[in-house]
């Protein structure tokens, strides 16, 4: 069997571990932008994992067995503080950030994730285009806003802008801010 490209190889190994542990997860960040929007350079993959009753130490042990290595010293404390497991995959050098998801919004994102075949025999859940836009509005960096523009162009009529607006209104209320919908509406113009 021919070798897969580094991100597909990483996703195959990751999917195997997470399926074995029976945890729910989804890809977000730049790799999701590549799927929903337009190409941009990246050499990392971001995923959110809902561990449920699985301990983060078991997740790390299983990922190490599958060819991943931790990127940060003192990682147990780092994971506890940030809820992120920073890894690197094999000799490819690809970075993987595993975000340990919590209840609420991240569960909703996972529920709406779309299964996508990223290579023959490798299907992974990717955050929906609408939910990805919400995460990018929340991040608000110039590159995130540019990512949203690319998604809007690529998805145009398929995008449920009402769902995006609805979620942003709810987040404005929950976070006590008033500019999230305005940012999104400005990008639609």
The domain spans of the chain are: 6-127, 134-188
**What fold characterizes domain 6-127?**
Beta Polymerase; domain 2 (3.30.460)
Distances (CA, A) of 105 to 17, 50, 134, 148: 24, 12, 11, 19
Give the strand order in the sheet containing 84-89. Answer: 68-70, 84-89, 94-100, 44-50, 24-28, 122-126, 114-119
Condensed to tens digits (0 to 9), the pLDDT of residues 113-147 reads: 999 998 888 999 999 999 999 999 999 999 999 99
Written as six digits, the tokens of 31 are 């790799």
Instruction: Provide the β-strand partners of residue 46.
Output: 28, 97
pTM of the model: 0.91
Identify the segments of the chain with pLDDT beneath 70. Answer: 1-6, 74
Give residue 6's pLDDT.
Answer: 61
Alpha helices in 22-160 (DSSP H): 30-36, 56-65, 75-82, 105-112, 129-139, 142-155
Tokens of 134: 């919400």
Q: What share of the chain is helix, strand, coil (3-state, %, to 5)?
A: 55, 20, 25
d(CA 187, CA 137): 10
Element containing residue 6 per DSSP (H, E): helix 6-21
Q: What is the pLDDT of residue 58?
A: 95
């Amino acid at each position: 069997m021919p070798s897969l490209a580094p991100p597909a190889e990483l996703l195959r190994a990751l999917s195997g571990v997470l399926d074995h542990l029976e945890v729910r997860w989804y890809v977000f960040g730049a790799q999701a932008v590549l799927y929903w929007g337009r190409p941009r350079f990246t050499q990392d993959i971001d995923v959110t994992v809902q561990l449920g009753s699985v301990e983060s130490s078991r997740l790390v042990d299983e990922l190490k067995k599958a060819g991943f290595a931790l990127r940060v010293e003192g990682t147990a404390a780092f994971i506890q503080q940030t809820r992120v497991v920073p890894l690197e995959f094999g000799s490819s050098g690809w970075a993987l950030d595993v975000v340990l998801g919590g209840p609420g919004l991240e569960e909703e994102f996972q529920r709406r994730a779309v299964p996508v075949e990223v290579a023959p025999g490798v299907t992974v859940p990717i955050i929906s285009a609408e939910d990805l836009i919400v995460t990018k509005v929340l991040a608000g960096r110039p590159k995130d806003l540019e990512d949203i523009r690319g998604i809007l162009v690529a998805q145009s009529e398929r995008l449920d802008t009402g769902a995006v607006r609805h979620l942003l209104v709810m987040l404005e209320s929950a976070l006590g801010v008033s500019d999230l919908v305005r940012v999104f509406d400005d990008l639609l113009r």
